[in-house]
Amino acid sequence: MAKPLAALLAAGFSAALIAVSAAAHAVPAPIADPGEKASALQQEQAKDNLAKWSKIADGFCSGEKFSDQGIRDYYEAYKLTPLQYRNNVHPADEARRALMGPDRKYAPPLGSTDADELRHWQRLMCSSAEFKADWANAYKTYEEQLGTKMKPGMDEEEAILELYDKKMEMMLKVLAKENGEGPADDEED
């Protein structure tokens, strides 16, 4: 059970969601809070697609080095959500600044490019239980501070589930492209 849960965290699921999904197998009661609704639907999508999410986590943590564009594309897919945050600031970006900024415990080497910092984040997500715990806590804190509402068009459960399917497919495409299994899109880098 631990490997699938770690896989979900590395693939972009919150620790709170993972804890809920590990314990809950019943259909949840209707939820009014947008963040809770998104989490419940993310849980549903994850249960239905655990093998694919595990493949994503395995690919992300395979030790293969992402290209600059590949790691940026993966991170953008990681941040895909039906929620809209205050001032369009994403909790992942805030957690990154808080944990990996200059003079921070998890700071990347000086002179790192943004892509280097993202690869450093990748290594930490895949190899450090302490970082994963700190990341989950920081992400949740910023998610609560930034307040959430649903993005336009995300009022229906079907639209939210489709978005999570899109997130999963975007990540799979990035991994396939990075592994030389085909282009992620029609554009050249």
Q: What is the pLDDT of residues 9-27, one digit of tens each?
A: 555 655 444 443 343 333 4
Q: How far apart are the first and last CA of the chain?
A: 38
How sure is the predictor about 46, in pLDDT bands with cuts at 50, 70 and 90?
confident
- Classified as helix, coil or strand, 130 is helix
In the predicted model, is pLDDT for residue 161 greater than 50?
A: yes
Q: Which residues contact 132 (CB under 8 A, 6 or more apart)?
A: 6, 9, 10, 15, 124, 125
In the predicted model, is pLDDT for residue 133 greater than 80?
A: yes
pLDDT of res. 6: 53
Across 44-53, 91-100, 113-122, least confident range? 44-53
Residue 4 CB-density burial (10 A; 0-12 exposed, 13-18 middle, 19+ buried): middle
> Residue 8 and residue 14: Cα distance in Å, rounded?
8
Query: Which amino acid type is present at position 56?
Result: I
- Classified as helix, coil or strand, 107 is coil
Q: Which residue has the higher pLDDT, 12 or 173?
A: 173
How sure is the predictor about 117, in pLDDT bands with cuts at 50, 70 and 90?
very high
pLDDT of res. 12: 63
Q: Residue ranges of the domains in the chain?
A: 2-178
